[in-house]
Amino acid sequence: MNERYKILFEPVKIGPVTAKNRFYQVPHAMGSGNDMPKTRAAQRGIKAEGGWGVINTGYCSIHPSSDDRPLPFSRIWSDADIPAHELMVEAVHEHDALAGIELFHGGAYAPNRHSRLTSLSPSGIQQRPPELDTMQITAPKVMDSQDIKNLIQWHVDATKRALKAGFDVIYCYAGMGFLPYHFLHPDFNKRTDGYGGSLKNRVRLISEIISSMKETVDGKAAIAVRISTDELLGFKSDNAESEAHELFELIGELPDLWDLKLSEWAKECPSGRFAESGHMRPYNSFAKELTSKPVVGVGWFTSPDVMVKQITDGVLDFVGAARASIADPFLPNKILEGREDEIRECIGCNICASCYNGGIPVRCTQNPTMGEEWRRGWHPEKPKTKSTDSNILVIGGGPAGLEAATTLSKRGYRVTIAEKEDQLGGRINHESILPGMSSYQRVIDYRYNQISQSELVETFLGNELKKEDVLGLGFDHVVTATGSKWNLSLLNEKLTPFNIDKMPNVLTPDDIFNGAETKDEILIYDFDYYYMGGLLAEHLTNQGKKVSIISPFPSVSPWSFMSNEVNEIALRLHEKNIKTNKEEIIQIIEQDHVVTKNLVSHETRETKYKTLLIVGNRVPQRKLYDELISEGNLSDHGIKSINNIGDSNAPGAVVHAIYSGHLYANTFDEGAQESDLKFEYASIQ
């Protein structure tokens, strides 16, 4: 191990338990909840195997009055829920790590769509999210003194169950818009009894919960508190620098550990496009001076040097991570073994966050095995060994081809990559130079680093293969990963695309990437769901061009809501003075103007342009694959199989291309590609 990282491996006491090192996987939802206990245990267990010292569950509801369905939350509502948690605890303990559980009551935030119990709150004030899927049309009830007693008792009952399941660290969750946090927050807490008014009163509930939980565990587990500090830091206090400071003066020594976070998830977990590593420092650097208890915080830490600095600067005791542990469950062990150059560094794309938002187990762009540990038996570091001595030709060195080559070579197969361009990387080479996207280069860096150390991989650049080349090369297996191209198309009123002829000054993103000249003013017609339209608008504006956008959707890049980016994108476009006209389709393109139709009012209007950039749909580049499969008898040429992966099969985000490459590499020698897929069904007992 590099000496300067030694500090990361010091043991740290958390009340009655001790973590073996400072690598702390903070509570974060993994999309598997209690309905997929085996998936969940394997997702968390792999991180323990990779060296993380503390592994926590995601938010775990303590009572049906905090029912977050359809989101994939965990629960510990009754003793019947204990065995599902035991699976995870065992998987974590097997590797000498501590297992933590984040007990949670959502209060006014909890929609209770399934339980149909009334939501609870200090003062009957609704949590008002702007998104339709979390909006509620009922107000929460005002908790009376019995409700408060119940809430404390539910924490106690859940703590007893957590102890039975074997957890070492048990949380009280007083962050974001959840119930204990609403008691802290003067906008949500208008009470006139002993639980409202001064901070001393507003903190009373949390204080009583922590004390009861501590009494319950009786030294057998640590009690942690997760709290949002950003808003409290802004609230004035008569007794201290801010209410956050005063809170620490009041109860700083009460729990065994403080876990600091922000009050809004999208702000705490922004994509790499909109945040730097360590972005949480302004909100958590104050706490350590005010408590002797260990402090954990996050901040998109991916580099061990940044992690060390958080410790040596006295900001944190534990390096908290969600994304870094998803992208590379083996990050701690790689540092421990002096292999930090092999870390699969998180790119900050927030595809993982999108999975939680979508109610499915977490998937990761960088780590295609995440979420597949149980159902496919995939391991991020050790793919199963090869079953034959075959050699494989990978055509195309973008994300799909590179992931296929990397995993095939780890399995022991000889691989040759042929890439048309003079460098590996495919679409990443274009996209990573756009504003805020440089971290996407890590997709290539990690894989390039792996294959360049392998004697089994040969790479031929500047090598565009044609059908005849492939047939004559003598490979056992051939896989095409030849990518996609942006299409020149418009949408009809059913919002399906139709191709249009090439016209002067009408371009696609590929034309921009290939250096096409753009005449000011640029009109972008963006009907892609994801980031490209807004990104190119920002890129071209940075070059001094005047840019405006037309989109058929109510927001630009609407799918980016899933990756916590949609509001940031809107703000960026606003800051750059990029005018956006929404809910419009272009019906006619003339030489210097377009005719658009508003999808709501059906009114038409004309907009002038000098360059029209259409960011529409992508089409697979599968000509080579189609020519090869139509060849008929491939076995005459010694070819046993031919497959098409990544964007040349079905254009998608980088995560899909990487997954497709990994799936191929793991299954091409098993016949059917789906052969190792199993599902976790609930059984009737």
The residue ranges that bind ligand SF4 (CB under 6 A) are 323, 326-327, 346-352, 364-366
DSSP, res 553: S
65 vs 557 by CB, closer to ligand SF4: 557
Selected from 120, 277, 646, 663, the binder of ligand ADP by CB under 6 A is: 646
User: Does 483 help bind ligand ADP (rule: CB under 6 A)?
Assistant: yes
31 vs 140 by CB, closer to ligand SF4: 31
Q: Maximum CA pair distance of the chain?
A: 86
398 makes contact, choosing from ligand ADP, ligand SF4, none, with CB < 5 to 8 Å by partner type, with ligand ADP
Tokens read off for 479: 């896989």
56 vs 660 by CB, closer to ligand ADP: 660
Stretch that binds ligand ADP, among 22-30, 170-178, 358-366, 475-483 (CB under 6 A): 475-483
Q: Give the integer Cα–Cα distance in Å for 420 and 395.
A: 9
Stretch that binds ligand ADP, among 322-330, 463-471, 492-500, 540-548 (CB under 6 A): 463-471
326 makes contact, choosing from ligand SF4, ligand ADP, none, with CB < 5 to 8 Å by partner type, with ligand SF4
Report DSSP letters for 418-474, one per residue. Answer: E-SSSSS-THHHHHTTSTT-GGGHHHHHHHHHHHHT-TTEEEE-S----HHHHHHS-
Selected from 79, 464, 493, 606, the binder of ligand ADP by CB under 6 A is: 464
Main-chain phi, psi angles of 392, to 5 degrees: -130, 135
Distances (CA, A) of 148 to 183, 192, 209: 11, 14, 10
Please report how close the Cβ of residue 559 comes to ligand SF4 at its closest, in angstroms: 15
Q: Give the integer Cα–Cα distance in Å for 508 and 211.
A: 62
User: Does 436 help bind ligand ADP (rule: CB under 6 A)?
Assistant: no
- Give the bridge partners for 595, in sequence order: 588, 606
Selected from 354, 482, 518, 611, the binder of ligand ADP by CB under 6 A is: 482
Please report how close the Cβ of residue 562 comes to ligand SF4 at its closest, in angstroms: 12
Stretch that binds ligand ADP, among 267-275, 363-371, 385-393, 397-405 (CB under 6 A): 397-405
Please report how close the Cβ of residue 112 comes to ligand SF4 at its closest, in angstroms: 29
Please report how close the Cβ of residue 347 comes to ligand SF4 at its closest, in angstroms: 4
Decide if 454 contacts 408 (C-beta within 8 A).
no
90 vs 458 by CB, closer to ligand ADP: 458
365 vs 596 by CB, closer to ligand SF4: 365
User: Does 418 help bind ligand ADP (rule: CB under 6 A)?
Assistant: yes
User: Does 368 help bind ligand ADP (rule: CB under 6 A)?
Assistant: no
Fill in the amino acid letter for 74. Answer: S
Selected from 15, 368, 380, 396, the binder of ligand ADP by CB under 6 A is: 396
482 makes contact, choosing from ligand ADP, ligand SF4, none, with CB < 5 to 8 Å by partner type, with ligand ADP
Selected from 223, 322, 465, 524, the binder of ligand ADP by CB under 6 A is: 465
Report DSSP letters for 168-234, one per residue. Answer: SEEEEEE-TTSHHHHHH-TTT----STTSSSHHHHTHHHHHHHHHHHHHHTTSSEEEEEEE-HHHHH
Q: Give the integer Cα–Cα distance in Å for 304 and 300.
A: 12
Please report how close the Cβ of residue 429 comes to ligand SF4 at its closest, in angstroms: 18
426 makes contact, choosing from ligand SF4, ligand ADP, none, with CB < 5 to 8 Å by partner type, with ligand ADP
Please report how close the Cβ of residue 202 comes to ligand ADP at its closest, in angstroms: 51
Stretch that binds ligand ADP, among 171-179, 477-485, 567-575, 605-613 (CB under 6 A): 477-485
49 vs 647 by CB, closer to ligand ADP: 647
Please report how close the Cβ of residue 208 comes to ligand ADP at its closest, in angstroms: 54
Q: Give the integer Cα–Cα distance in Å for 306 and 279.
A: 11
620 makes contact, choosing from ligand SF4, ligand ADP, none, with CB < 5 to 8 Å by partner type, with none
647 makes contact, choosing from ligand ADP, ligand SF4, none, with CB < 5 to 8 Å by partner type, with ligand ADP
Q: Are strands 618-620 and 484-486 parallel, antiparallel or unpaired?
A: antiparallel
303 vs 429 by CB, closer to ligand ADP: 429
Stretch that binds ligand ADP, among 116-124, 276-284, 399-407, 561-569 (CB under 6 A): 399-407
Please report how close the Cβ of residue 12 comes to ligand SF4 at its closest, in angstroms: 24
Please report how close the Cβ of residue 631 comes to ligand ADP at its closest, in angstroms: 15
Q: Give the integer Cα–Cα distance in Å for 413 and 59.
A: 42
397 makes contact, choosing from ligand SF4, ligand ADP, none, with CB < 5 to 8 Å by partner type, with ligand ADP
- Compute CA 521 distance to the chain's CA centroid, rounded to the nearest angstrom: 36
Give the total residue count for the chain. 685
Stretch that binds ligand ADP, among 42-50, 419-427, 557-565, 668-676 (CB under 6 A): 419-427
Helix axes 145-165, 204-217, angle to 10 degrees: 30
Q: State the sign of the Cα–Cα–Cα–Cα dihedral 182, 184, 188, 189.
A: positive
User: Does 647 help bind ligand ADP (rule: CB under 6 A)?
Assistant: yes
Assign 124 to helix, strand or coil: coil
- The total of other beta-carbon atoms located within 10 Å of residue 395's CB is 27
Nearest residue to 183 via CA among 218, 213, 152: 152
Decide if 529 contacts 559 (C-beta within 8 A).
yes
347 makes contact, choosing from ligand SF4, ligand ADP, none, with CB < 5 to 8 Å by partner type, with ligand SF4
326 vs 573 by CB, closer to ligand SF4: 326
Q: Give the integer Cα–Cα distance in Å for 395 and 649.
A: 13
235 vs 529 by CB, closer to ligand SF4: 529
User: Does 420 help bind ligand ADP (rule: CB under 6 A)?
Assistant: yes
Stretch that binds ligand ADP, among 57-65, 346-354, 481-489, 635-643 (CB under 6 A): 481-489
Q: Which element (helix H / strand E) includes 608?
A: strand 604-608
DSSP, res 505: T
Selected from 245, 376, 427, 618, the binder of ligand ADP by CB under 6 A is: 427
User: Does 458 help bind ligand ADP (rule: CB under 6 A)?
Assistant: no
Q: Identify each DSSP E strand in 3-131 by its residue range.
A: 12-14, 17-19, 23-25, 54-61, 74-75, 98-104, 120-121
Q: State the sign of the Cα–Cα–Cα–Cα dihedral 610, 611, 615, 619.
A: positive
Decide if 396 contacts 426 (C-beta within 8 A).
yes
383 makes contact, choosing from ligand ADP, ligand SF4, none, with CB < 5 to 8 Å by partner type, with none
User: Does 419 help bind ligand ADP (rule: CB under 6 A)?
Assistant: yes
Burial class (CB in 10 A: 0-12, 13-18, 19+), 685: exposed
Q: Which element (helix H / strand E) includes 160?
A: helix 145-165
State the residues that interact with ligand ADP by CB under 6 A.
395-401, 418-421, 426-427, 463-465, 481-484, 621, 624, 646-648, 657
